[in-house]
Structure 1
Amino acid sequence: MYDRWLTPRPQRVDNGVMTGRTPLPRRVEVLAGLSVAIDLGLGQPAEHMLRSAVIACRLCDRLGLDRTQRATTYYATLLMWIGCHADSQEYARWFGDDIAVRSDAYLVDWSGIPYFRFLLGNVGRGEPVGHRVKTLATLFRDARGQIATLVHSHCMSAAALARHIGLGPDVERVIAYTYERFDGGGLPRGAAGEDIPIEMRVAQLADMVEVHQRAYGVDGAVAMARSRRGGQFDPTIVDAFVADPDAVLSPGDDDPWGCAMSLAPETEIALDDAGLDALVTAIGDFGDLKCPFALGHSRGVATIVDTAARHLGMSMVEVDTARRAAHLHDVGRIGVSSQIWSKPGELSGAEWERVRMHPYLTDRVLMRIPGFGDIAAIARAHHEHLDGTGYPLGLGGAALGRAQRLLTVAVAYQSALEPRPYRDAYPAERAASRIRERADRGVLDGECVEAVLVAAGHKRARVRRDDTLTPRETEILGLVARGMSNREIAARLVLSEKTVRNHVERTYTKIGAANRVGASLYALEHGLVAPVAEDTSG
């Protein structure tokens, strides 16, 4: 199978037009991006799981594991906590800030009195005293049973998600043992010793020593591993680590992404369009699991965006990019505590600031994936408004392209149809009237509102723009605004230069522009400037 980064990708024909496409990422690169999203839910710095996977591979080499075991260990380590956010609402119920508790849990041994003290100190974290006392009483009537229920939920969720994103049966089997301990004191099976797959025994140590090295240095990581030898961890694996910890922990740490990619198995697996669509759909589903009330949200938004973008006459490159951004727009939600998402009342100023950060967190995840720059630029703007009142950057008007405007409208419409902790779901007609009212106030793009409503099955109320540009004229206007000459546009769209010139002249007449500057300003004001896709034909 060819490597998409080395071989020029064939151009795609859209409505008779040859359109250059940016090379698609490899499968492992998208999964590595997913691991960064998992880091958010764990309260760990970006690339924690990537660094852990590197450590795990070095341990595999020291232990003499075969190629298949090493590959399974790599993916099991990278995504072992993929189920962590699926039970975040339950964690928030018991512990308040689910992300803070998960982060702090790395620093204690999950056994005996220290763990009991940890649980006791974190029950109802951030909640009023009365609520904490009530929660404590409920939890400690059957503490192990309550924790076992959470762990079982995690393991089932992790296995299902591993299957959903196509990780294969070996990885699915291994990550079901994430909470088990070598001494048999773990959950949910109470598996012990070699009953726990070797791949998970390696992954568990790699995950922990990465955090402890970062917090306390190499000596701290070694001390932690030795203190849990024979308890949480397999003595053989601990011994392999402490024999030369610097060699396991140090090389390549200045570029964890590059190091993890160099050690990744199956690096030759490239993605075609169908494979990428399946993967981004699964990742969108993964993000929605953070909040049960949002289940199916990203799929719904993506379906609307796909249909509405075609209705607007966007090119197939723009349609594909916008749809993928719609699937992925909410992965940053994982980085905000369920304590906030599930709050039925008004948010405090500090809580609201954390909510405003989630599009930025989406951007952090997507920008790590090669070739996802355009997707990230659209996804991170899904709460920006034309009048500059949105977040996280307060962009407006000319700063927002058509795909960004469209995604914002689709998110607003789909969200209105869904229940929230502070309100019931709205009927379709009320959801439609809400976004039309926001368009009338200049918050949302009117043309995108009507396209979304048509896509959602509503009758078209009115056309917001009166320039009557055809899809071809709209496309050419966007390229003119990007500074391309008539000759360059003709070559790009496989048209004659005369045909392009005629299109440009008619477009100028329709929009009332006297020259390229006027046309460019019009295109900016109406969100018609799309990124110029990279030509990979040469």
Structure 2
Amino acid sequence: MDPTAQQRRGVLPRRIEVLAGLSVAIDLGLGQPAEHMLRTAIIACRLADRLGLSSAQRATTYYTALIMWIGCNADSEEYARWFGDDIAVRHDAYSVDWVGMPFIRFLFGNVARGEPTTRRMLMIGEMLRDARGQLGALMHSHCASAAELAVHLGLPIDVARAVEFTFERFDGAGLPRGCPGDEIPIEMRIAQVADVAEVHQRMYGIDAAVTMMGARSGGHFDPAVVDAVVSDPAPVFAEAADGDVWSAAIAEAPDAETRLDQDGLDRLVSAIGDFADLKCPFALGHSRAVAALAADVGAQLGMEADEVRALRRAGHLHDIGRLGVSSQIWSKPGDLTASEWERVRMHPYLTDRVLSRISGLERERTYARAHHEHLDGSGYPLGMPGASLGPGERILAVAVAYQSALEPRPYREALDAASAAERMRGRSAHGQLDPEYTEALLSVVAGRHTPRVRDDDGLTLREREVLAHVARGLSNRQIADKLVLSEKTVRNHVERTYAKIGASNRVGASLYALQHGLASPFV
């Protein structure tokens, strides 16, 4: 059956298809080619079988390997603060064992990568004062974020627990807790070997991968897992039939035939949108807001319910391609260079790549990939003219434009509603945005009431205000400057707020803020 016909007839994607698409987005953030995490999951399952794991352990191994690096997106901005181009550094980190002098050379060779010399010297000095402490804090935040996101995506609790050990080592020299040996879940010990071995085998061949694993056995890697590979490595790394890694990885999933219902798909794409927004803290809640705007415009214009639902889902998914652009670029306060701007212009194309293999989301993919196209052909990435843009693409574009205007950016403050409306009408008059849909959106916005936020969680008004700024990535010092408070007072507010809402880091606070209407003071 034709995929578009499938969608029209209500055939929704399987749960694993959507999560496999998410894994491709994770590949973007690692600087690895598409299907790295899928192939890692296949290798991990083969190792689980060789080691005689139970079906429950095998299932946990599969999903642990598939999303083990999900926390990378959440800490990208902090990673970029230390290492400049976060994607390039993550790509190169696969070549070095994270211990000893080779790692020290790698670490200091990449501090503030791509930044001016003066900033590099400052950051190197800060790292020298306590390299392990600085890295430990970063890894702790990463692992806590990964666990939060795994739960947010509806994955089993055993997967969430396993990804908390991503940076631990078998010899106990890992971070953040220094857990040795069997204290690391077997599912993560397998995923660690599968992840690094996949890269080395793909880039250098089986012999090189075996040599690498032997060198790290007993250090980074569990010797028993290494032995399970090197005893007969060829079948472990065997290519999928017909080279179809996507289908092979989906077939290995423990719930390969579980198909989502409408509400389940809505929840999952909403969680993926939240995940994408964490790439840039200043955009927290962006995808949720765009989804609501696009759907409300569609409903006001009398579109059918399934079309409105597709608009909402496209709003949640449109920015997943952001993961493929370094946070060094997204967070730049000044003008972008020509090469940086070209990378930004690619992110809708990367969204298209992520969504391209998921059956049942064809309309959402069509709308999402065009969210920065303009009627006059001046948009990106393809410069599509108005004749090529249908109602869905045009509505999503005006929703993105309006919501983006309301949000702060590193190079400008957020606009108020009146200024955002004026900007929208100006872009419409200049031929970029559809005039009819622009006015429909502004009509929707004018008729909205301020949403009621949760007020039974014990947070004071000041703590809610602080939480909103924490969720948007501001440091305690920046919050203190904004609210004219001392940094110590802000720190106390943050600690009390975290205790009240049960959060341990910014990502936990951000997800709480999103779910309870506290994320954005700008809407």
User: What whole-Å deviation, never above 9, does each CA across 1:264-317 have from its counterpart, x for those lacking one?
Assistant: 111221101000000000000000000000000000000101111011111112
Does residue 1:237 correspond to 2:225, yes or no?
Answer: yes
Work out the CA distance in 2 between the residues paired with 1:456 and 1:277: 23
Partner of 1:49: 37
Alignment check: 8 A CA contact 1:288 1:298 kept: yes
Does residue 1:112 correspond to 2:118, yes or no?
Answer: no
Partner of 1:156: 144
Counterpart selection for 2:370 from 381, 390, 406: 381
What is the identity, as a one-letter code, of the residue corresponding to 2:284?
L
Work out the CA distance in 1 between the residues paired with 2:216 and 2:257: 38
Partner of 2:456: none
What is the identity, as a one-letter code, of the residue corresponding to 1:260?
A
Partner of 1:101: 89
Secondary structure of the equivalent of 2:309?
Answer: helix
What is the identity, as a one-letter code, of the residue corresponding to 1:98?
D
Partner of 1:356: 345
What is the identity, as a one-letter code, of the residue corresponding to 1:428?
A
Secondary structure of the equivalent of 1:140?
Answer: helix
Work out the CA distance in 2 between the residues paired with 1:116 and 1:22: 54
With the length of structure 1 as denominator, give the TM-score of the two structures: 0.81
Work out the CA distance in 1 between the residues paired with 2:188 and 2:373: 42
- Higher fraction of helix: 2
CA shift for structure 1 position 124: 1.0
Work out the CA distance in 1 between the residues paired with 2:357 and 2:93: 27
Partner of 2:398: 409
Partner of 2:202: 214
| Matches for 1:116-515 after TM superposition, within 5 Å | 116-252=104-240, 254-457=243-446
User: What whole-Å deviation, never above 9, does each CA across 1:62-84 have from its counterpart, x for those lacking one?
Assistant: 00001000000000000000110
| Matches for 1:63-102 after TM superposition, within 5 Å | 63-102=51-90
Work out the CA distance in 2 between the residues paired with 1:238 and 1:211: 15
What is the identity, as a one-letter code, of the residue corresponding to 1:150?
L
User: What whole-Å deviation, never above 9, does each CA across 1:450-483 have from its counterpart, x for those lacking one?
Assistant: 1111222269xxxxxxxxxxxxxxxxxxxxxxxx
User: What whole-Å deviation, never above 9, does each CA across 1:82-110 have from its counterpart, x for those lacking one?
Assistant: 11011111111111000000000011001
Work out the CA distance in 2 between the residues paired with 1:367 and 1:75: 21
Partner of 2:18: 30
Report the number of matched residues: 446
Partner of 2:507: none
CA shift for structure 1 position 335: 0.5
Work out the CA distance in 2 between the residues paired with 1:354 and 1:22: 36
Cα gap change, 1:65 to 1:5, in 2 (>3 Å) = farther
Work out the CA distance in 2 between the residues paired with 1:160 and 1:264: 22
Work out the CA distance in 1 between the residues paired with 2:158 and 2:54: 14
Alignment check: 8 A CA contact 1:383 1:392 kept: yes
Alignment check: 8 A CA contact 1:21 1:317 kept: no
CA shift for structure 1 position 415: 0.4
Q: Decide which moves more: 328-337 or 252-261.
A: 252-261
Secondary structure of the equivalent of 1:386?
Answer: coil
User: What whole-Å deviation, never above 9, does each CA across 1:196-238 have from its counterpart, x for those lacking one?
Assistant: 0000000000001000011111111101100000000000010
CA shift for structure 1 position 373: 1.9
Partner of 2:460: none
Work out the CA distance in 2 between the residues paired with 1:304 and 1:122: 41
After TM superposition, where is structure 1 displaced by more than 4 Å over at least 4 residues in a row?
Answer: none
User: What whole-Å deviation, never above 9, does each CA across 1:328-364 have from its counterpart, x for those lacking one?
Assistant: 0000001000000000000000000000000000000
CA shift for structure 1 position 25: 0.3
Work out the CA distance in 2 between the residues paired with 1:267 and 1:145: 41
Work out the CA distance in 2 between the residues paired with 1:51 and 1:5: 27
Work out the CA distance in 1 between the residues paired with 2:368 and 2:220: 40
Work out the CA distance in 1 between the residues paired with 2:235 and 2:387: 52
User: What whole-Å deviation, never above 9, does each CA across 1:134-192 have from its counterpart, x for those lacking one?
Assistant: 11011111111111111011001100000001002110111100000000000111101
Partner of 2:512: none
CA shift for structure 1 position 21: 2.8
Work out the CA distance in 1 between the residues paired with 2:294 and 2:214: 53
Alignment check: 8 A CA contact 1:182 1:234 kept: yes
Work out the CA distance in 2 between the residues paired with 1:108 and 1:439: 51
Work out the CA distance in 1 between the residues paired with 2:160 and 2:80: 26
Work out the CA distance in 2 between the residues paired with 1:454 and 1:80: 44
What is the identity, as a one-letter code, of the residue corresponding to 1:119?
L
- Name the % identity: 63
Bigger radius of gyration among the two = 1
Partner of 2:496: none
Work out the CA distance in 1 between the residues paired with 2:447 and 2:361: 32
Partner of 1:484: none
Partner of 1:515: none
Secondary structure of the equivalent of 1:284?
Answer: helix
What is the identity, as a one-letter code, of the residue corresponding to 2:157?
P
Task: Please give the root-mean-square deviation of Cα atoms over the aligned residues, in Å.
Answer: 1.6
Work out the CA distance in 2 between the residues paired with 1:87 and 1:361: 20
CA shift for structure 1 position 386: 0.3
With the length of structure 2 as denominator, give the TM-score of the two structures: 0.84
CA shift for structure 1 position 241: 0.2
Work out the CA distance in 1 between the residues paired with 2:211 and 2:357: 33
What is the identity, as a one-letter code, of the residue corresponding to 2:410?
P
Work out the CA distance in 1 between the residues paired with 2:96 and 2:290: 41
Secondary structure of the equivalent of 2:415?
Answer: coil
Secondary structure of the equivalent of 2:446?
Answer: coil
CA shift for structure 1 position 437: 1.2
What is the identity, as a one-letter code, of the residue corresponding to 2:229?
F
Secondary structure of the equivalent of 2:73?
Answer: coil
